[in-house]
Structure 1
Amino acid sequence: MIQLRDNTRFFIYTIAFLPFILLLSSGVIMLYYHTGAPKEALIIARDGYFWLAFHKTVSMVCTPFILLHLFVKTNWVKNYFLFKLKGKFKTSNIVLFLAYFICLFTAIGSWLVFRDNDIVSQLKGLHNKIGILLIFIFCIHVWNYWTVIFNQIKRLGCKLR
């Protein structure tokens, strides 16, 4: 098991948080275009082509951070695959884990693997639906761990003085 100091883990989580928020936000914006709005329509002074490129770029930045987050949680991941998870937030953590990887693989499939328009369209549709679930589950994840996050911020603040 990997043992990192609380400050190091918190730093990793904080670094991973911003790109993930940008990913989720751009995903919400992309839903507007996926529902039939023309790519030329502007949101925050940018068109759909910009937002798609932004969403893809942020996803490439975000994925290593999420994997690093899971790397820090090696014991959790091991117990996940051995069906030995315990804890108060087990279900929401499992759903978050699955939703993220389904989103990741449907995006990779529609972006890089398949060229058939029907398959790509189905993958994008699944990606959109799972993405919405991912947003809600991520919010629940942050809510569940808010006390831990807040206490870590307080501890770091005291150490910085």
Structure 2
Amino acid sequence: MAQHMMHFDPLSDIARFDPMRSMDDFLKDMGFKDALKDFGRPSPIRLDVTESEHAYRIKAELPGFKVDDISVDIDGNRVSISAESRQEHEETNGQKVVRRERHTGKYFRSFSLAQDIDADKAVARYRDGVLDMELPKLLGGSAKRLQIS
């Protein structure tokens, strides 16, 4: 007779409560399916940084951008890369868009190097979705020892 008894756990429904799942469902119902999609993810601009005695070389992946949509700013040892993709207004000839997955928006990546950059001698080229920068180190740097009086 004990074989046919069911085990009852009064807290089983509480144990299954997942507040984040409820929040996800709420956002989906409100039309914000992907509101938190990129939260906590690394920057979409991926880098390779190499260093020689006299310069840094940076290769940044920026596929699908035009040269005019990319900018690089150098301030001392800080390098900032930004890129913006805009939605092009395509002629659809009466067709409706069924799916649009290409992202439009701004991307930004900023990082510091160990030594200041000689911005006047820095060179950047963009080809095949890769931004290739040669950033010469500022020889002698801008460090200065102050005389104390």
TM range (shorter): under 0.3
Q: How high is the TM-score relative to the length of structure 1?
A: 0.22
Q: Which has the higher helix share?
A: 1
Q: Which has the higher strand share?
A: 2
Structure of larger gyration radius: 2
Q: How high is the TM-score relative to the length of structure 2?
A: 0.23
